[in-house]
Amino acid sequence: MAHYYTLGAELPGLKQEQTSLSYSSLELWEEMMRPQFSKRDIRQMELLFLQEDNKTLIKLLKGLPTETPTVPVALGEETLRTLIRAVEERRDEENDEPTPIPENVPAYMVRFVEEYLEGKFEQNGAKGFAEDFLAVAYYDHIRKKAIGFVKKWVDLNAHIANIMAATTAKKFGLDISSYLVGASPLTEILRLSSWTDLQFLPGSDTLQEIIKVSEESNLYTRERHLDTIRWRFLDEVVFSDTFSIEAMMVYFLKTRIIERWTTLDKEQGEMAFRTLISSLNSDGKQKLANFVESTKNKSKSVADNQQTEKV
């Protein structure tokens, strides 16, 4: 793969604790990285961006409002709307000329939309977990198409999501297996609650650290610690080569970590947090189950406690 000496020399250094950025992640990608990247490396970056497209796809299928993206995406809302329309028209036997499925849409998305529109998730009583099915399909796609670093990055975040879900479910006496995404040695251990067996898995020290962090009751502190784990992982990737495509990906992901904390709306965050607490008090375990589900794929509300912590 290509090396990016000029680009690497131009990029300012990043520190996890900094509170401002020279470029947004969208500017970094569109103005600096994309114009210099090879086609092959652009495709690797877009594998990461598909996660944002996954979120938009779910919203479109559920009829929820979407937002103008402030971070890079691989496909975009217009392409996703075309995908849904194309699948709908293909299901209509009277439509002899259905809209073509966009060529750049990965097969896992096409299958997911087909199954969603067929009511597969409703039939299985799992419509609320459609995001999980899409996440599993995405992980499988990554493992087939991505370079080693991207696979490891996605695996790390999948491990974090599953451990967070498992520890929360365990705490409130819920069925752990209902909240795990994918099939791996880690998820099997979590399903069986064989926590001591984690020591035999690769990267066991990191997994144990994630478990310890998951027990932190302060949402803000917990998520900060998780981002520290992510940051350390990224540092280890670029230890020996600061101009490779992996190094450029690391720089982008570090930018996203910083950006996440500098752009969170504190007032909206506090409101969401208080709403969550209120609903937990009124509806008991069902709301707790919904909370566990949300922790696996949604991180926007985790900084809510930054304001609550000061109250």
Q: Is the pLDDT of residue 295 over 70?
A: no
Q: Note the pLDDT of residue 173.
A: 87
In the structure, what pLDDT confidence band is assigned to residue 217 with cuts at 50, 70 and 90?
A: confident
**Of residues 33 and 287, which shows the higher confidence score?**
33
Distance CA 208, CA 198 (A): 7
Cα–chain-centroid distance for residue 16?
A: 19
d(Cα 142, Cα 155) in Å, to the nearest integer? 10
Lowest mean pLDDT across 58-62, 198-202, 268-272: 268-272
The pLDDT, as a whole number, for residue 228 is: 97
> Across the chain, how many H-helices and E-strands are there?
15, 0
Of 90-104, 260-274, 282-296, give the lowest mean pLDDT range: 282-296
pTM tops 0.85: no
